[in-house]
Structure 1
Amino acid sequence: MYLNNLGGIALSYNVQIKKVSTEIEFDLPKKMTTYSSGYDLIAAIASPLIIQPGERILVPSGIAISMPNYLEAQVRPRSGLAYKHGITVLNSPGTVDADYRGEIKVLLINHSKEQYIIQPKDRIAQLVFQEIPEIQLIQVDELTVTERGSGGFGHTGFKS
């Protein structure tokens, strides 16, 4: 823990990171601004990749991590890629579990009507770390009653 610039207490964790790609030279993921929550992941590829409209592709990030067992890393889309080009992370957010030691890969999909070319070292996603609470699931015969009850999709205000 440490004091943040607002005088509050912030948590701090150590996460080990290893370059696993030997195809290209690249920098480790970094935050683009002081208050960014995500670390940018790059395409650790030696030559361009083309994603056709509607196509999905698995892109290597070139890194593997080791983090405490009470953390998870989430692979999230980059808003600029989504807005400008229709490129997003298909399984968003993608979860990297604390016991996974393989290369982090990003599952991208092209939702646009045009092909998109990913260049080597392009920033393709962001990695955000989250705490995972310890949960005990308790089987019961009945759940507590709420006003909403079992109302699902669109139940709280969606009008068609």
Structure 2
Amino acid sequence: MKLLIKKLDERAVIPARQTQFSAGYDLSACCGEPITVKAGQTVKVHTGVAMEIDGDKSTVGLIYARSGLATKFGLAPANCVGVIDWDYRGEVIVALHNSSENDFVINHGDRIAQLVLAPVFTPEVEVADELSGTVRGEGGFGSTNK
């Protein structure tokens, strides 16, 4: 399998893993001028790249927060996890939300999120009149009292 990256902007930074065992490829901002993400605001940040997962159509690209940005500065994907379907060929754009009380400035080349590739299961959907029983049953949020 290969991750093919097309630069849509000559200034774009190619996504890269920072260590040998990193699961995610860091995505970097591609912007002409700094972007201020005000407290409570969501902005769409361009990366200047498009991608193709070559070789396995049952793979998806998932955009996750970078842990440091999220925990220290409250900056994380607005939709929690972004989904890049196998057949999408447009620019990878990250919607970042600032959940902190402070504005945050993103500069060109800043690492803003991480891309993780994962398998996708797409079973046939079948309507059922009954589902099998379990010990938990229909117990929902907090039903195990733990």
Q: Report the TM-score range of the alignment, normalised by the length of the smaller protein.
A: over 0.9
Find the partner of 1:81 among 61, 69, 76.
69
Q: Percent identity?
A: 38
Paired residue type of 2:77: V
Q: Secondary structure at the match of 1:104?
A: strand
Q: Which secondary structure does the structure 2 equivalent of 1:80 belong to?
A: helix
Equivalent AA in structure 1 for residue 48 of structure 2: G
Alignment of 1:112-123 (within 5 A): 112-123=100-111
TM-score (norm 2): 0.93
Distance of 1:70 and 1:147 partners within structure 2: 33
> Normalised by the size of structure 1, how large is the TM-score?
0.85
Match of 1:157 in 2: 145
Question: Is 2:123 aligned against 1:132?
Answer: no
Per-residue deviation at 1:58? 0.6
**1:62 CA drift (Å):** 1.0
CA distance in 1, matches of 2:78, 2:143: 26
Q: What does 1:88-99 correspond to in 2, within 5 Å?
A: 88-99=76-87
Query: One-letter code of the match for 1:81?
Result: L
Q: Give distance in 1, aligned partners of 2:47 and 2:13.
A: 11
Higher relative contact order (CA 8 A, sep 6+): 2
2:145 and 2:26 mapped to 1: Cα distance?
36
Uncovered stretches (5+) of structure 2, i.e. residues with no partner: none
Please name the residue that 2:98 is paired with. Answer: 110
Residue of structure 2 in register with 1:37 after alignment: 23
Question: Aligned pairs, how many?
Answer: 144
| 1:28 matched residue in structure 2 | 14
Change (3 A) 1:26 1:102: closer
More strand by share: 2
5+ residue gaps, structure 1:
1-12
Partner letter of residue 73 of structure 1?
A: G
How far apart in 1 are the matches of 2:2 and 2:69?
A: 29
Residues 65-90 of structure 1, C-alpha deviations (whole Å, 9 max, x = no match): 11231110000000000111111111
1:46 aligns with 2:32: yes
The amino acid of 1:27's aligned partner reads V
